[in-house]
Amino acid sequence: MVNEPHDVMTMNEGELRRHVERALRELAGRELLIEMQRCARNHLFYQFVELWGPVLYRRDRELFGSFLASHLKRAVWQLDPAKVSDWIAAVEERGDVDIARPLIEAELTGWSYSDGVHDVLETRILQRFQDARSTERRRLVLQMHSGVWWDWSISDEGATKLYDIDGEAFLPWFVEELDGKTRWAQTPSYEGLRARMRSGDDPEFFEVYRRTVDVETWRGDVLQLCDEYGGEGLAEALRRRHPVHNAVPNPGSVFLELAEKAGEAARPYLREAVCNDTEIFDDTWESLAQQFARLGWWQEWAQVVRCNVKGDYFNWAVETVVARDDTLSEAEAMARLVSIAGAGRRSWIGDVVTHQITPKSATLLYQRFPTVASGPFRPHFQIQSRGDVEPEELYSETAKLALQRGDEEFFDFLASRLFGTWLRWSWRSDVYCDPRGFYVGYFRQLKTEEELARRGARVLSMVNFELIDWKGQLDRNGLAQFLFENPTRYLANPQALTELLDSTDVMVRELGFRALAQDDRRARKLAEDHLHHLMAAPMEELSGRGHAAALKTLSGLAVERKNLAPIIVARLRDVARLYAPPFRRGRLLKAIAEIIAAQPELRKPSEEPTVYEYSSNRGNRLAAERRSTW
């Protein structure tokens, strides 16, 4: 049975159905699997799952299992459960989890929320869980029903029944289900289940408690523990009851009451807890920070300021510590500032939240503690869409202080913060980054080209490239335009050129390739030193301009340095054959042709030019035949 792949792709539903029926009759084993994989490329293949699904499962579960598990997920909405009810029963009986899940999901697709699909799913689980005769079988039942309906959570009553039947099989699955819920998932409080577990002294009680407790119940338990424990053992009792995975939306208010009531006894627990909760900012965290300051708990205070308070309070804390000349020594103030510097908590999507320092706070900090501002506080110098820095400010006062101190490196760092500022102000077409021209004006007045190359490369190497759309930067950012407008200047400083080519950002590396492609004696000398960068360039995701510049440099280098030509030609041939997309292959072939034209001995037999000769005798004979017919 032979069919080309394109024949299967163009079949209509009737033709494809007959083709599948014929394949199921005539083929077996791996040949049948290959044919089914070809048929699955046609989307109509999923219209008749009941034809091929049960047959493949009965033929060879081991051979066709992975094929069925992957393709049944795409056929959930096309499958008619009534036609494959026997197959679903057989899969469940055998305990094939990966195949059972999409079949059970297909069985539920006929139900809606108004029909009570959650109740149907819960009843199905309870019935099969109760009918199972062993703990291992009950675990399989729960696994087969896990994730079949995205927003389903078992009710408190259903969870209690499953726990009563077999808690050993139910609890690990239940805890895993709770861990998989998002922070906004609507889950029951499971008070009945917790009461049943507490009455039986279940050792897993706290694992369920920490994932299901609500804020008011937790608050009451925490305050009750303060009365029960005079001080010894309180921290450990609090740890056992600490909510995980954001089960409590606002723990800051509970932490505040706990600090006020328990004092020093709760300090070890609070030191661990305040930084482990990735919560939305809440005003109670500022009150908690003030309470820690009144108690003299400066380590805990720093954790709350760094991780949980809003940006306004963070900047107020910086200004307060800097201004307290009479009460804090130089060393104490520096230590307190360093303790609140750096990355804070992780948000619910996983990124690190870092406070943004305002220009006013930055200037005050740099005036008194320049080493702290230019060191630990660097991550806080941000100008981004969600920040509070106006485009007219841009830390220019802090930059002026850095120039007065001769701190060129920190000045260049502040200049690098300009990249990304346009994102917030893109709706104002008249506003550019650095609208007063402070930073651009400074770089323009640098006296030597070597110094400008060194400083410009350092600025580009310190940009946070994750925040940048380079097209917008080069359209509207005056400093970006200035640093990119003349690649030749970077030839004056070989170290600066190396920094560009070693950059992690493709646009900065492209600037380096453009510099090497210039018609300049220095570029030709530096190209050989950066051959390893150039050899990697054809496979990089450069723009057309950067790709052409790198290939131009490579071909020129191969023509001038005959000893390097074989290596370069071999590399370009490999890239053209294996990696290059069609729209780039033309440039690669052009570069190869230029090198071969200069050194014909590198030409392969297949690259020899073919000259077609025209036989004059045959042409004369044909012309005579035409005339005779006239």
Give the mean pLDDT of 101-115.
Answer: 72
Out of 234-243, 312-321, 573-582, which region has the weakest mean confidence (pLDDT)? Answer: 573-582
Residue with the bigger pLDDT between 108 and 504: it is 504
Residue 431 CA to residue 434 CA, distance in Å, equals: 9
Output phi, psi for 477, to 5 deg: -95, 110
pLDDT at 117: 76
DSSP class of 352: B
Give the mean pLDDT of 160-184.
Answer: 84
> In Å, what is the CA distance from 575 to each residue of 272, 516, 554, 595, 620?
53, 21, 13, 15, 48
Give the mean pLDDT of 279-296.
Answer: 80
Q: pLDDT, tens digit, for every residue of 112-146?
A: 555 677 888 888 889 889 888 899 999 988 888 88
Q: Hey, is 346 helix, strand or coil?
A: strand
Nearest to 339 by CA among 321, 351, 366, 326: 321
Crossing angle of helices 135-144 and 97-108, in 10° steps, is 50
DSSP 200-212: TT-TTHHHHHHHH
pLDDT classification of 53: cutoffs 50, 70, 90: confident
Give the mean pLDDT of 491-512.
Answer: 92
In this structure, are residues 133 and 95 in contact, taking their beta carbons and an 8 Å threshold?
Answer: no
pLDDT at 339: 92
Token code pair at residue 74: 């795409």
Q: Hey, is 477 helix, strand or coil?
A: strand
DSSP class of 421: G
Residue 301 CA to residue 484 CA, distance in Å, equals: 45
Give the mean pLDDT of 186-196.
Answer: 85
Q: What percentage of the chain exceeds 90 in pLDDT?
A: 27
pLDDT at 523: 92
Please determine, for residue 610, whether its predicted confidence score (pLDDT) is greater than 80. no
Output phi, psi for 201, to 5 deg: 50, 45
pLDDT at 441: 87
Give the mean pLDDT of 541-569.
Answer: 90
pLDDT classification of 387: cutoffs 50, 70, 90: very low
Residue with the bigger pLDDT between 534 and 432: it is 534
Please determine, for residue 401, whether its predicted confidence score (pLDDT) is greater than 90. yes
Please determine, for residue 624, whether its predicted confidence score (pLDDT) is greater than 50. yes
Please determine, for residue 35, whether its predicted confidence score (pLDDT) is greater than 60. yes
pLDDT classification of 625: cutoffs 50, 70, 90: low
pLDDT at 534: 92
Please determine, for residue 277, whether its predicted confidence score (pLDDT) is greater than 60. no
477 forms bridges with which residues in the sheet? Answer: 433
In this structure, are residues 11 and 42 in contact, taking their beta carbons and an 8 Å threshold?
Answer: yes
DSSP class of 540: S
Out of 277-281, 490-494, 539-543, 562-566, which region has the weakest mean confidence (pLDDT)? Answer: 277-281
Residue 487 CA to residue 606 CA, distance in Å, equals: 39
pLDDT classification of 496: cutoffs 50, 70, 90: very high
Token code pair at residue 304: 């709350």
Please determine, for residue 365, whether its predicted confidence score (pLDDT) is greater than 90. yes
Mean confidence (pLDDT) of the chain: 83
Residue with the bigger pLDDT between 429 and 241: it is 241
**Cα Rg for the chain, rounded, in angstroms?**
35
Q: pLDDT, tens digit, for every residue of 405-454?
A: 999 999 999 998 887 654 444 444 334 455 557 888 899 999 899 999 99
pLDDT classification of 544: cutoffs 50, 70, 90: confident
Out of 153-162, 192-201, 340-349, 492-501, which region has the weakest mean confidence (pLDDT)? Answer: 340-349
Residue 309 CA to residue 287 CA, distance in Å, equals: 9
Domain ranges of the chain: 1-110
pLDDT at 583: 77
pLDDT at 317: 93
pTM of the model: 0.74
428 forms bridges with which residues in the sheet? Answer: none
Q: How far is CA 244 from the centre of its chain?
A: 24
In this structure, are residues 155 and 320 in contact, taking their beta carbons and an 8 Å threshold?
Answer: no
In this structure, are residues 228 and 241 in contact, taking their beta carbons and an 8 Å threshold?
Answer: no
> Greatest CA span in the chain, whole angstroms?
125
